Amino acid sequence: MASELGLAGDLVNQRGRFQTLAEYYRIKHGSIGPLRSWMDRHWTITRDKIRKSELHRLIVALDFPVVYTTNYDRNLEVAFEIHGREYVKVANARDVSKARRDVACIVKFHGDFDDDSSLVLTETDYLDRLSFDSPLDVRFRSDALGSTVLFVGYSLSDLNIRLLLHRLWQTWNRSGYEADRPPSFIFMARRDPVEEAVLGRWGITVLAGDDEDPENDLVSFLTRLASLVSGQTG
């Protein structure tokens, strides 16, 4: 973005927030269409690479009824197609009405490359989502209130995600039935006593890895989880 806008590198580094830069990009270009096209081209992973990805195979094999992702790309959808599992994609209000309970649901929480208007990318987009009253936010609150939630791969520096976790705790805390809340977990590649304390306060149990490679850590964790799930259902 900085290169296309002709901005000096030191100015961009000082600012440090891609959302603000994306906002400026939309102001200068009138839309984020060109940026979305660039991201779509450069972030596409080949079907063969996804087919060989153990991480994607495990996500499909674990048979989650609903998968939320903040990624814009189609990699999860391709993984479901490769491994022969039906799914419904939800990226906007219209899609919410098409979701089915008998088919896995992939919720594109920050939007989808196929719908520019759904993308949460600029500073205004992120600030608008802080109200958490969009159709996808309502859907998530409904799912999270009645189900165990496992958070994997989310950036804990993302204010939207942190506020979402806090709101979830707040809802249960105010209800007077916090003891009946389904357990929620988050997998982190490294132990962090600060995050463990804060998230624990919000009713989320931290599961930490110990491998030097975060991807290996996550694959190992999901492999163990798949084995446990298989043992319970077998």
- pLDDT tens digits, one per residue of 126-176: 888 877 888 888 888 888 888 999 998 766 677 777 888 888 889 898 988
* pLDDT for residue 93: 86
Residue 60: the pLDDT is 96
What's the confidence (pLDDT) of residue 14? 53
Sign of CA dihedral 160, 166, 171, 172: positive
- Domain boundary assignment for the chain: 148-234
The pairing of strands 184-188 and 87-90 is unpaired
Query: Which residues in the chain come in under a pLDDT of 70?
Result: 8-16, 154-156, 232-234
* Nearest Cα residue to 71 out of 121, 17, 137: 121
pLDDT reported for residue 165: 83
At 60, list the tokens.
């499909």
Query: 3-state secondary structure string, 103-164?
Result: CEEEEECCCECCEHHHCCCCHHHHHHHCCCCCHHHHHHHHHHHHCCEEEECCCCCCHHHHHH
Average pLDDT, the chain: 87
State residue 225's pLDDT score. 93
Residue 9 has what pLDDT?
Answer: 63
